[in-house]
């Protein structure tokens, strides 16, 4: 066991956040910490790392174990670049490398006892450097930076110029490189695109330590965790299995709890009725029997009534009237920003009743496309046409459609002036804004609260074509499930951008993948997209090139085809040579390790230094060859 949380209680003022919360995390275990927004998940993480003190109980980390914590928001300052900032996580290895170089320099001019001491220090330092995988240090850093969605060009960006989300990714990279025994991650996928999330899934699955993750990404949790720790109304329960297994077990657990309480209540009422009847006979024998039953009833341990599910958002989406069959036609749409082409000549159409998900990496232009369709940005080229009787309802992930200086009540009443005060309050109550909450200014709300206000406006719009940009951002799992149910019951048309793969699986009837400045169409959910992605992308790319060539009236000539074939043969030949060279160098690397372990070599200063320099050269060349192999393959 690496972590034991024992009877933790925490209150803020009169509000009890956690009460006698107990759970444990085993070595190498991957666990999720889930619960509604405000349930106390982040509070519990801060108690574990010592940022908060608990009112009672304790969080105990196993002896000599290290812990690393990624908070939701990071403040990283300074003039370092992304690469330099993440490199600081390996400062101890870099210092060790400098010490090795210094020892090598000193040994050139030493003799006798001094040389023996230097050689001993050198042997220990190189052994420690190798034990800490120092030779692959820079390669590991590069892999993590790219895995988290940064390009090679981003390596030199100063961290002071990064967005909050990018800083969180940098902090995550540093934490992964530190490799603590226990990782605490608070919403690690919030600022990652789908490829980066998939990379992080694989990384955590193979992570040698334990991981405790707070996340609303159900697909991510299904892939990574084997235990779910739930925080609900101050209580903590643990369930073995991934999120889907937890969901089933939780429903069964809640049902069993309620049935047990109900059965006990019925039994108590039954016994009380029997006792009353026996006493009414007013005979000595019946009274004794009544008293006997009363004693048994007093010994009964009453079950607490199960906590009712917390009040949840109520969302019902329904168009005021139906649109025509053709909802949207996009023809040859192009858009680029200075030095950043987004998409070129993309065309697609959406029919009434479809629920289409638009996916793609960060920076491919998904949000820009939605803004063009809402006429918030003009395209560089091409056009789009809305069908007959189409009325758009737009959900913006940045909530620019909300007015920060207005109260929640004003936001709704100004947008829908015909609504009565009672109707507005009823609508806001359905989205969990009651009492004086309705007079809070939008600027003071959390991301999740702003999301609920935007959803309330969307529901009142009664639009028949919903365009949604990351609608599940900042929503807890219960609210996501309510939104999924509302969209699946909606009789209009939906076009949305989302990184939430579970949400896409539950709602999408079709997926458009914005990749390489083009669109690939998948008629199915996210699992179907994963199954067909490689195949359809390979088919689509040459088809797109052919169509572009035909538009320009320039088909590939026989000579061009021969040149392409020659290039392909050269690439295949280069790949083979690269693989052979890698195999040779890896074998030499092992041979150097064997030589350095020999006693006669260990006492030969000159030989040790030669082999050390050769090993460094081999490692450097291998790193370059691995990158070249990736490009060629």
| pLDDT tens, residue by residue, 523-572 | 988 988 888 887 777 776 444 444 444 434 333 444 555 566 667 777 77
- pLDDT surpasses 80 at 225: yes
pLDDT of residue 252: 83
- pLDDT surpasses 50 at 589: yes
Q: Give me 462's structure tokens.
A: 């009664």
Q: What is the DSSP string of 374-423?
A: TTSS--SEEEEEE-TT--EEEE-TT-TTS-TTSBHHHHHHHH-TTS-HHH
pLDDT of residue 600: 80
Q: Are strands 30-34 and 227-232 parallel, antiparallel or unpaired?
A: parallel
* Selection from 6-10, 150-154, 160-164, 619-623 with the highest mean pLDDT: 6-10
pLDDT of residue 6: 93
Q: Which CATH number fits the domain 326-550, given the four candidates 3.40.50.2000, 3.50.50.60, 1.20.1440.230, 3.40.50.300? A: 3.40.50.300
3-state DSSP call for residue 58? Answer: strand
Mean pLDDT of all residues belonging to the chain? 85
Instruction: Tell me how far apart the alpha carbons of residues 511 and 487 are, in angstroms, rounded to a whole number.
Output: 16
pLDDT of residue 196: 85
SS3 content of the chain, % helix, strand, coil (to 5): 50, 20, 30
| Average pLDDT value for residue range 429-446 | 87
Q: 382-405 burial, b for 16+ CB within 10 Å, e for fewer?
A: bebebbeebbbbbbbbebebbeee
- pLDDT surpasses 70 at 51: yes
Instruction: Tell me how far apart the alpha carbons of residues 254 and 247 are, in angstroms, rounded to a whole number.
Output: 11
Instruction: Tell me how far apart the alpha carbons of residues 262 and 520 are, in angstroms, rounded to a whole number.
Output: 54
For residue 228, give the H/E element and its range: strand 227-232
Residue 353: left (phi > 0), alpha (psi -120 to 50), or beta?
Answer: left
Q: How far is CA 520 from CA 30, 397, 508, in A?
A: 35, 24, 15
Instruction: Tell me how far apart the alpha carbons of residues 217 and 94 are, in angstroms, rounded to a whole number.
Output: 36
Burial class from Cβ neighbours inside 10 Å (0-12, 13-18, 19+) for residue 557 reads exposed
Instruction: Tell me how far apart the alpha carbons of residues 589 and 617 are, in angstroms, rounded to a whole number.
Output: 10
For residue 7, give the H/E element and its range: strand 3-12
Residue ranges of the domains in the chain? 247-299, 326-550, 562-632
Burial class from Cβ neighbours inside 10 Å (0-12, 13-18, 19+) for residue 409 reads middle
Q: How far is CA 179 from CA 8, 136, 174, in A?
A: 27, 15, 9
Task: State the pLDDT confidence band at 347, using cuts at 50, 70 and 90.
Answer: very high
- The distance from CA 542 to its chain's CA centroid, rounded to whole angstroms, is 33
Q: How far is CA 457 from CA 321, 362, 409, 412, 477, in A?
A: 17, 27, 11, 7, 21
pLDDT of residue 281: 81
Tens of pLDDT, residues 114-165: 888 888 888 898 888 888 888 888 888 888 888 888 888 888 888 888 877 7
Q: Are strands 493-497 and 355-359 parallel, antiparallel or unpaired?
A: parallel
Instruction: Tell me how far apart the alpha carbons of residues 315 and 318 are, in angstroms, rounded to a whole number.
Output: 10
Could you say which DSSP state residue 306 is in? P
* Selection from 41-55, 189-203, 294-308, 393-407 with the highest mean pLDDT: 41-55
Total residue length of the chain: 633
Task: State the pLDDT confidence band at 239, using cuts at 50, 70 and 90.
Answer: very high
Neighbours of 590 (CB within 10 A): 10
Tens of pLDDT, residues 150-207: 888 888 888 888 877 788 888 888 899 888 999 999 988 877 888 888 889 999 999 9
pLDDT of residue 39: 82
- Any idea which residue has 């605490």 for tokens? 184
- pLDDT surpasses 80 at 249: yes
Neighbours of 447 (CB within 10 A): 14
pLDDT of residue 182: 94
Is-contact 368 523, C-beta < 8 A? no
- pLDDT surpasses 70 at 379: yes
Neighbours of 30 (CB within 10 A): 22
Task: Give the residue with greater pLDDT, 524 vs 605.
Answer: 524
Instruction: Tell me how far apart the alpha carbons of residues 279 and 397 are, in angstroms, rounded to a whole number.
Output: 68
pLDDT of residue 369: 93
pLDDT of residue 535: 79
pLDDT of residue 591: 87
Is-contact 264 306, C-beta < 8 A? no
Neighbours of 175 (CB within 10 A): 20
Strand order in the sheet with 340-351: 340-351, 326-337, 381-386
pLDDT of residue 474: 78
Q: What are phi and psi of 313, to 5 degrees?
A: -60, 140
pLDDT of residue 502: 92
Instruction: Tell me how far apart the alpha carbons of residues 134 and 95 are, in angstroms, rounded to a whole number.
Output: 11
Rounded to 10 degrees, what is the CA torsion of 229, 232, 235, 241? -20
Q: Are strands 56-61 and 235-240 parallel, antiparallel or unpaired?
A: unpaired
Judge whether 326-550 and 562-632 match in fold. Answer: no
| Euclidean distance between the first and the last CA atom of the chain, given in angstroms as a whole number | 42
Instruction: Tell me how far apart the alpha carbons of residues 268 and 261 are, in angstroms, rounded to a whole number.
Output: 11
3-state DSSP call for residue 491? Answer: coil
Neighbours of 562 (CB within 10 A): 10
Task: Give the residue with greater pLDDT, 199 vs 340.
Answer: 199
Tens of pLDDT, residues 59-69: 999 999 999 99
Tens of pLDDT, residues 71-123: 876 677 778 898 888 888 888 888 888 888 888 888 888 888 888 888 888 88
Q: Which CATH architecture has domain 562-632?
A: Orthogonal Bundle (1.10)
């Amino acid at each position: 066991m690496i972590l034991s949380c024992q009877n933790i209680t925490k209150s803020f003022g009169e509000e009890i956040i956690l009460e006698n919360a107990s759970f444990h995390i085993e070595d190498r275990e991957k666990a999720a910490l889930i619960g509604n927004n405000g349930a106390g998940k982040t509070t519990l993480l801060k108690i574990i790392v010592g940022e908060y003190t608990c009112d009672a109980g304790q969080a105990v980390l196993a002896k000599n174990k290290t812990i690393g914590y990624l908070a939701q928001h990071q403040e990283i300052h300074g003039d370092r670049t992304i690469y330099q900032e993440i490199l600081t996580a390996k400062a101890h290895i870099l210092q060790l490398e400098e010490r090795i170089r210094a020892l090598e320099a000193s040994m050139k001019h030493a003799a006798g006892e001094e040389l023996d001491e230097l050689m001993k220090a050198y042997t220990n330092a190189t052994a420690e450097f190798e034990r800490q995988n120092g030779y692959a240090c820079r390669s590991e850093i590069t892999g993590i930076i790219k895995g988290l969605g940064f390009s090679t060009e981003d390596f030199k960006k100063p961290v002071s110029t990064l967005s909050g989300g990018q800083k969180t990714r940098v902090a995550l990279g540093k934490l992964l490189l530190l490799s603590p025994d226990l990782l605490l991650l608070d919403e690690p996928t919030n600022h990652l695109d789908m490829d980066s999330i998939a990379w992080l899934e694989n990384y955590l699955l193979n992570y040698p330590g334990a991981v405790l993750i707070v996340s609303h990404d159900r697909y991510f949790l299904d892939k990574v965790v084997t235990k779910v720790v739930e925080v609900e109304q101050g209580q903590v329960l643990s369930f073995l299995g991934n999120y889907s297994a937890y969901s089933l077990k939780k429903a069964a657990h809640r049902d069993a709890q309620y049935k047990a309480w109900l059965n006990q209540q019925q039994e108590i009422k039954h016994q009380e009725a029997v006792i009353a009847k026996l006493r009414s006979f007013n005979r000595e024998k019946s009274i004794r029997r009544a008293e006997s039953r009363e004693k048994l009833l007093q010994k009964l341990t009453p079950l607490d009534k199960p906590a009712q599910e917390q009040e949840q958002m109520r969302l019902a989406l329904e168009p005021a009237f139906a649109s025509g069959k053709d909802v949207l036609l996009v023809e040859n749409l192009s858009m680029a920003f200075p030095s950043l082409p987004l998409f070129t000549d993309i065309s697609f159409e959406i029919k009434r009743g479809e629920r289409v998900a638009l996916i793609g990496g960060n920076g491919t232009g998904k949000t820009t496309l939605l803004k063009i369709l809402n006429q918030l940005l003009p395209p560089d080229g091409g056009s789009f046409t809305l069908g007959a009787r189409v009325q758009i309802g737009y959900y913006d992930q940045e909530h620019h459609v909300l007015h920060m200086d207005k109260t929640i009540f004003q936001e709704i009443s100004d947008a829908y002036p015909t609504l009565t005060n009672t109707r507005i309050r009823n609508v806001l109550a359905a989205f969990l804004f009651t009492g004086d909450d309705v007079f809070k200014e939008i600027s003071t709300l959390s991301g999740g609260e702003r999301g609920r206000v935007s959803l309330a406006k969307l529901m009142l719009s009664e639009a028949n074509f919903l365009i949604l940009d990351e609608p599940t951002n900042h929503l807890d799992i219960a609210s996501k499930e309510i939104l999924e149910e509302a969209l699946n019951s909606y009789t209009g048309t939906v076009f949305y951008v989302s990184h939430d793969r579970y949400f896409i699986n539950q709602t999408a009837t079709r997926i458009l993948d914005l990749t390489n400045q083009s669109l690939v169409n998948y008629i199915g959910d996210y699992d179907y997209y994963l199954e067909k992605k490689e195949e359809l992308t390979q088919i689509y790319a040459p088809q797109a090139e052919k169509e572009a060539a035909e538009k320009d009236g320039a088909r590939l000539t026989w000579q061009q085809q021969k040149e392409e074939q020659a290039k392909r043969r050269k690439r295949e030949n280069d790949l083979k040579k690269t693989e052979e060279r890698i195999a040779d160098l890896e074998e030499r690397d092992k041979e150097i390790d064997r030589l350095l372990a020999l006693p006669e070599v260990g006492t030969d200063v000159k030989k040790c230094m030669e082999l050390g320099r050769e090993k460094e050269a081999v490692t450097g060349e291998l790193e370059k060859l691995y990158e070249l192999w990736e490009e060629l393959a």
